[in-house]
Amino acid sequence: IIKVIDDVAPIFPDGCEVADVCIEETSCGTTVSFNEPTVQDCSIETNVTVESDLGSGFGPFNDVAPGIYTVTYTAMDQCGNSNSCQSTFEVLDCKKPTPYCKNGIIVELMVIDTPMVEVWAEDLNDGSFDNCSDVILSFSADTTNQSIIFTCDDVGQQNVEIWVTDEAGNQDFCATVVFVQ
């Protein structure tokens, strides 16, 4: 009597990495599906299952929000040997926010020791928005640059850009004018 016993678990020779996924639609969710990883085993047939923070199975999983998720693949051969491989992936908000600027504003210098007026990026906003988060408004890609001071040297038309930044760091801008009187 010759008995052949397989007590070697299947292996994942290429690992089980899951690529990050970008949300580029107008909604704040995307569809995620998992590919079956390569499995090596001496059995003719190996059963691969997947469990993730999204649920059981390979998907598709709809409306997945931005975040970091874990996925675990389990391979079982015909002899009852099993092995698991775990990976994490991130769903990222990759869509730029949508900037809307007012078609210019008129401001007057305040008469004080030094005539000046402070204009905030919010003063020129006309409903800018993002698909996933609140936005920060600024006069440049630097989100701390949220106001500009105009003086007598700036009387007349001043061209400005209103930058809109979402919580994921995506940015876009629109151009408008400030008329300083």
Residue by residue, pLDDT tens for the chain (181 residues) are 888 788 899 999 999 999 999 998 889 999 999 999 999 998 888 999 999 999 999 999 999 999 999 999 999 998 889 999 999 999 999 999 999 999 999 999 998 888 999 999 999 999 999 999 999 999 999 999 999 999 999 999 999 999 999 999 999 999 999 999 9
Q: Hey, what's the torsion of the CAs at 165, 170, 174, 177, to 10 degrees? A: 30
Nearest residue to 29 via CA among 61, 57, 56: 61
Helices and strands (H and E) in the chain: how many: 0, 13
pLDDT at 111: 84
Give the tens place of pLDDT for each residue, 121-166.
Answer: 999 999 999 999 999 999 999 999 999 999 999 999 999 999 999 9
pLDDT at 112: 81
Locate 43 and state its tokens: 């059995």
Provide the b/e sequence for 21-50 (b: ≥16 CB within 10 Å).
bebeeeebbbebebeebebebebeebebeb
pLDDT at 42: 85
Cα 75 → chain centroid: 32
For the whole model, what pTM was predicted? 0.80
Give the DSSP letter string of 107-125: E--B-SSS-EEEEEGGGGB
Please, what sign has the CA dihedral across residues 165, 22, 69, 131? positive
pLDDT at 4: 78
Task: Give CA angle at 65 (23, 122), nearest 5°.
Answer: 70
Percent of the chain beyond pLDDT 70? 100
Q: What is the largest CA-CA distance in the chain?
A: 106
